[in-house]
Amino acid sequence: MAVQTTYNFDQMLSNAREAYGEELYTMAKEGKDFVFTFSDNVAPSASAGKLRKDFPDRCFNFGIAEADQVGASAGLALSGNIVFAQVFGPFLSLRAADQIHTDIAYNDVNVRLIGTHSGVTSGGGPTHNVIADLALYRAIPNLTVVVPADAGQCCKVIRASMEFEGPMVIRIDRAGSPNVYAGDYEFEIGKAIETLEGTDGYIISCGSNIYEALMAAKMLKEQSNLSIGVLDMHTIKPLDTEAILRVAYKTGVVVTVEDHSVNGGLGGAVAEVLCEHGYKGIFKRIGMPDEFSVLGDSDAIYNFYGMDRHGIVKTLQSLMH
């Protein structure tokens, strides 16, 4: 059963980068026991800044030493703490890769690495775009990887992770993405959400791309009378293979959409599942091509590479006609 969404309303913005701090602050006020480490981009005025101000004994600032931060977070976890570690996205996956692999994942510790500014939302150009992180994370044992669709879902992930055993990456965008979900709904790490039901095809996506996928489905219904469903694959690892196979065999048309390289991310993971199960239907990956991005804000880049709603519509129309 599809959940209630807000996708008919085009200006309902959320901010997962603020939401994670708000949820941590709320949980701290509730008496939940955890430690927070952070890098240099947590301002005192931010929601995470309130956590720093009111709970200074559990907050540790590592400045621009991200690799040290990840290693120290592992040490804090080995001491018996649940640790939330906020790191600027490109430096988490590239600069601290060794520490993620050896300190966090190998020791199988309770650290939740919150990687902000994901994909091309960082706004820092090709050197700061975060387009290879999912490929890295998927290959590291013991690592759970979650990509929330909006601020509300980010809060659900943060809270659910308190009861979760083992290391986790929570990948969020820079800020200002539309809300996807209206009201409460059931969320479980590792279980995809059928955000919109379809009978002609499915878009499998994650993160803020879910909203563009919903808008594309709406346009396809209006323009071509096509019923396209949207599957929110918020957990990239472990992957909900049952949900992938269910929607693939239901319609025979699957398109993945992600703010990541087409190599090794969600699209690659879905392709592996379909291939290994003998799927013979239509399949296409939409994401960053195998190149460094053009310069521009995220919306312009999405449009340039056909990753926005118009590009998704064009791709599905070409596949189905």
Instruction: Confirm whether 18 is a catalytic residue.
Output: no
**Are the CB atoms for 7 and 30 separated by under 8 Å?**
no
**Are the CB atoms for 113 and 87 separated by under 8 Å?**
yes
DSSP, collapsed to helix, strand or coil, labels residue 132 as coil
Q: Cite the beta strand spans of the chain per DSSP E.
A: 13-14, 35-38, 59-61, 83-88, 111-116, 144-146, 168-171, 177-178, 193-196, 201-205, 228-232, 235-237, 253-261, 282-288
**Are the CB atoms for 313 and 201 separated by under 8 Å?**
no
CB atoms within 10 A of CB 112: 27
Single out the catalytic residue among 18, 23, 30, 66. Answer: 66
Closest of 60, 18, 70, 53 to residue 35, by C-alpha: 60
Q: Which residues are catalytic?
A: 66
